[in-house]
Amino acid sequence: MAVHGPAMTDVARLAGVSHQTVSRVLNGHPNVREQTRLRVRAAIAELGYRPNGAARALVTGRSQVIGVVAQNTTLYGPASLLAALEQTAAEEGFAVSVGSVRNLDHRSISAAVERHLAHRVAGIVVIAPVESAGEALERLPKDVPLVTVDGDPQRPVPLVTVDQVAGARAATQHLLDAGHRTVWHVSGPSDWFDSAGRIEGWRAALLAAGIDPPPLMHGDWSAASGYRCGQMLARMPEVTAIFTANDHLALGVLRALHEFGRRVPAEISVVGFDDVPEAAYFIPPLTTVRPDFDAVARASLQMLLSQIESGIGGGALRQTIAPTLVARDSVAPPRH
Amino acid sequence: MAVHGPAMTDVARLAGVSHQTVSRVLNGHPNVREQTRLRVRAAIAELGYRPNGAARALVTGRSQVIGVVAQNTTLYGPASLLAALEQTAAEEGFAVSVGSVRNLDHRSISAAVERHLAHRVAGIVVIAPVESAGEALERLPKDVPLVTVDGDPQRPVPLVTVDQVAGARAATQHLLDAGHRTVWHVSGPSDWFDSAGRIEGWRAALLAAGIDPPPLMHGDWSAASGYRCGQMLARMPEVTAIFTANDHLALGVLRALHEFGRRVPAEISVVGFDDVPEAAYFIPPLTTVRPDFDAVARASLQMLLSQIESGIGGGALRQTIAPTLVARDSVAPPRH
DNA sequence: GTGCCCTATGTGAGCGCTAACACTACCCGA
DNA sequence: TCGGGTAGTGTTAGCGCTCACATAGGGCAC
């Protein structure tokens, strides 16, 4: 159907050189005379030549593509990560191929990875925040560069992760510093490492202050589940401070508190996690923890590239990105 | 670095056939004996053979990859669209390569498209909601299957789009039906077609009811701009109904109204657009318009595939997906 | 001048696959 | 009996690149 564009030999003929010289110019090899280089570039421009990535991938064994495996790319975190990853990869001359999966189980992950391998991607980034993904990863071919993001800290796989524990600790500490006796926590789904880390940080901050952690409320990231948890918390007079595992949970909690006439922050303080762009416009503006997705993307890609360039095993195995607390109006000292 | 996996000839040798027969099995050609097919499949499984997409792309001239060009994939709309597109493409055996761009200007778009063309993608989907993107599209090579989503209705390029006009008309009509004398509108950025369509629908509904549209408030999709517009609207006693171009604008408006002590929906009704998952947990739950991103993705991909299979020009040139109104608590009859 | 290295370029092979065609049975109707 | 289809399989030739090597022409030390 499509008329095939010019190939390297066409450029070579027009420039009066061999195809190999064209290849050298394209790949920035040193030993090409400046004059020749210019002639080749002119020929490339004149013909509108575009190198064929498939041919290059065939002979080199890898394409300039990085495969990303992610679950729900509609969630704010994964979406931001994906966008940042794509941006960073483009700067390094790589394209990003997305393989989103419905479930992060063994089969789905393997299938997505297989699809990427079939295209001979240069490396794979797995945004694998749940336990079940880990098993799949260990059974993967060992010869393909791989980095996991927000994955299992226990597994021997290169990992970049937001420091969930530190973020949660900061959030909890912020509430304690405001004078609250204890802090309640509405968590994310229990099989996500992000949740586990945030729970751990919350617990650690309380224990460090000599406080026995109150019962945990289980949510699933959604505002809906935050709302349900909020309905329970709203009826407990002893609750004065709540840390939610993400901002959408916080939104649900705020709604529930509002319905029960519990004022935020006058009666109850709330802190979220993620700093979604709208968080500053919740009622009231939400104090939250902001992960640096750009930094995560940059670290992951760098880790991946070092594997690609210097063989598997080169470079660091673990990198942690510290989040920052963003203070807004949803926190105040407890009354009395 | 990576140990190269088995190739087609290895499978052929093990199965005792020629590589071509393996190819036939892989591509589902009819003239292969059942027994042979099974033998080949067994050999494939035994060796863990994975076809090399690059080689196939080289010889066929196209890879099983669809390129997507999008701007801000962090926004809810584009992110949902991208996810739906990826899901649908996977079902058809295609991978999706994302080329997100910072700006939707001529240069950025062209560059992103070039990158995709270098990889010999089978087709390109451009999520091109702004005017400046249109110019770039017309200068693109004519021999590449291309579909635009939410693009310029005026340009002669295959287009799938949410029926913004109908959605906005429904939202506005919903407010009029509740008894409001007029409806104010907080729009998206003026260079987005989505904005233009929603403005048009809003205006059309008012005019059809014999109402002179009030002045337009310009926003930029963000809750921040919604908040700024809301601060003005809150001080105008005559305002009883507001339609915002998306849910995040609505969130900002709700915040401003709340701060000024204007109750929603008792004093002022608000309708948004997008139905983000959190919309049901705004204060109050937001009545909004829900575009069907899955349907848009399906339509785009179908349009693209029909171009790929039957040559450019095959299939429909335009398809419009009707959104639905989701009624919640943010709308009530006006007081007086 | 001879030998040597170093720079700039060309030549040939082959990556793994598909498309086109060639070939071999075998069946069927005249 | 024989031509001619038709199902099943093999053979060959590239697709457009990169890699490894061959080659040509200087410059420079001795």
Q: What is the mean pLDDT of residues A260-287?
A: 97
Query: What is the distance between the alpha carbons of residues A81 and A69, in angstroms, rounded to a whole number?
Result: 12
Q: What is the mean pLDDT of residues A141-170?
A: 90
Q: Do B278 and A248 touch (CB under 8 A)?
A: yes
**A1 pLDDT higher than 60:** no
Interface test with B, best of A278, A307, A309, A312 (most B CBs within 10 A): A278
Place of tokens 């421009």: A45
Written as six digits, the tokens of B201 are 């629908």
Query: What is the distance between the alpha carbons of residues A116 and A100, in angstroms, rounded to a whole number?
Result: 11
Q: What is the pLDDT of residue A314?
A: 56
Q: How far is the CA of A18 from the C1' of D22 (A)?
A: 14
Q: What is the mean pLDDT of residues B232-238?
A: 97
Q: Are B148 and B137 spatial neighbours (Cβ–Cβ below 8 Å)?
A: yes
| B104 Cβ under 8 Å from any chain A Cβ | no
Q: Are A149 and A78 spatial neighbours (Cβ–Cβ below 8 Å)?
A: no
Could you tell me which chain A residue has the CA closest to the CA of B60? A54
Q: Do B61 and A2 touch (CB under 8 A)?
A: yes
| A103 Cβ under 8 Å from any chain B Cβ | no
| A226 Cβ under 8 Å from any chain B Cβ | yes
Instruction: Name residue B309's amino acid.
Output: E
Q: How far is the CA of A54 from the C1' of D25 (A)?
A: 36
Q: Are B65 and A97 spatial neighbours (Cβ–Cβ below 8 Å)?
A: yes
**B312 pLDDT higher than 80:** no
**Nearest residue to C10 via alpha carbon and C1':** A18
Q: Which of A74, A226, A281 sits opposite B223 (nearest CB)?
A: A281
Q: Do A97 and B100 touch (CB under 8 A)?
A: no
Fill in the DSSP letter of residue A333: P
Dmax (CA) for chain A in angstroms is: 87
Backbone angles phi, psi at B70, to 5 degrees: -145, 160
Interface test with B, best of A27, A103, A119 (most B CBs within 10 A): A119
Q: Are B125 and B69 spatial neighbours (Cβ–Cβ below 8 Å)?
A: yes
Place of tokens 């309640």: A184
- The DSSP annotation for A102-119 comes to SS-SHHHHHHHHHHHHHT
Q: Which of B2, B95, B97 sits opposite A144 (nearest CB)?
A: B2
Written as six digits, the tokens of A314 are 């080169």
Distance (Å) of CA A120 to CA A55, A126, A309: 12, 16, 15
In this prediction, what percent of chain B has a pLDDT beyond 90? 71
- The DSSP annotation for A77-90 comes to HHHHHHHHHHHHHH
CA angle A233–A237–A241, rounded 5-degree value = 60
| A216 Cβ under 8 Å from any chain B Cβ | no
Place of tokens 């778009």: B109
Interface test with A, best of B270, B278, B330 (most A CBs within 10 A): B278
Least confident window among B1-15, B279-293, B306-320: B306-320
Query: Residue B219: its chain A contacts at CB < 8 A?
Result: none
Q: Are B68 and B85 spatial neighbours (Cβ–Cβ below 8 Å)?
A: yes
Sign, CA dihedral A257-A260-A264-A267, equals negative
**A315 pLDDT higher than 80:** no
Q: Are A69 and A109 spatial neighbours (Cβ–Cβ below 8 Å)?
A: yes
Question: How many residues in chain B?
Answer: 336
Instruction: Name residue B10's amino acid.
Output: D
Dmax (CA) for chain B in angstroms is: 87
Model confidence pLDDT, tens digit, residues B40-85: 999 999 999 999 999 999 999 888 999 999 988 888 988 999 999 9
- Give A276 to chain B, closest Cα distance, Å: 10
Query: Residue A311: its chain B contacts at CB < 8 A?
Result: 1
Place of tokens 């900061």: A170
**A312 pLDDT higher than 80:** no
Closest-lying nucleotide for A60 based on CA to C1': D18
Written as six digits, the tokens of A219 are 């949510």
Determine how many CB atoms are found less than 10 A away from the CB of residue B259: 14
Between B63 and B212, whose confidence is greater?
A: B212
- Where do the H-state alpha helices sit in B157-292? 164-177, 193-208, 223-234, 247-259
Q: What is the pLDDT of residue B144?
A: 84
| B45 Cβ under 8 Å from any chain A Cβ | no
Q: Are A63 and A116 spatial neighbours (Cβ–Cβ below 8 Å)?
A: no
- The answer for A70, left when phi > 0, alpha when psi is -120 to 50, beta otherwise, is beta
| B248 Cβ under 8 Å from any chain A Cβ | yes
| A282 Cβ under 8 Å from any chain B Cβ | yes
In which band, very low, low, confident or very high, does the pLDDT at A246 lie, cut at 50, 70 and 90?
very high
Query: Residue A312: its chain B contacts at CB < 8 A?
Result: 1
Query: Residue A34: how many CA atoms within 13 Å on its side-chain side?
Result: 0
Residues β-bridged to residue B290: B324
Fill in the DSSP letter of residue B237: T
In this prediction, what percent of chain B has a pLDDT beyond 70? 97
Q: Are A79 and B73 spatial neighbours (Cβ–Cβ below 8 Å)?
A: yes
**B2 pLDDT higher than 80:** no
Q: What is the pLDDT of residue B3?
A: 56
3-state secondary structure of A5: coil
Q: What is the pLDDT of residue A147?
A: 92
Sign, CA dihedral B211-B212-B217-B220, equals positive
Q: Are A19 and A9 spatial neighbours (Cβ–Cβ below 8 Å)?
A: yes
Indicate the average pLDDT of chain A: 91
Q: How far is the CA of A62 from the C1' of C4 (A)?
A: 39
Q: What is the pLDDT of residue A156?
A: 84
Model confidence pLDDT, tens digit, residues B132-166: 887 777 777 777 899 999 988 888 889 999 999 99
Determine how many CB atoms are found less than 10 A away from the CB of residue B44: 21
**A2 pLDDT higher than 60:** no
State the pTM of this model.
0.90
Model confidence pLDDT, tens digit, residues B95-131: 999 988 887 788 888 888 888 988 889 999 999 888 8
**Nearest residue to D15 via alpha carbon and C1':** B59
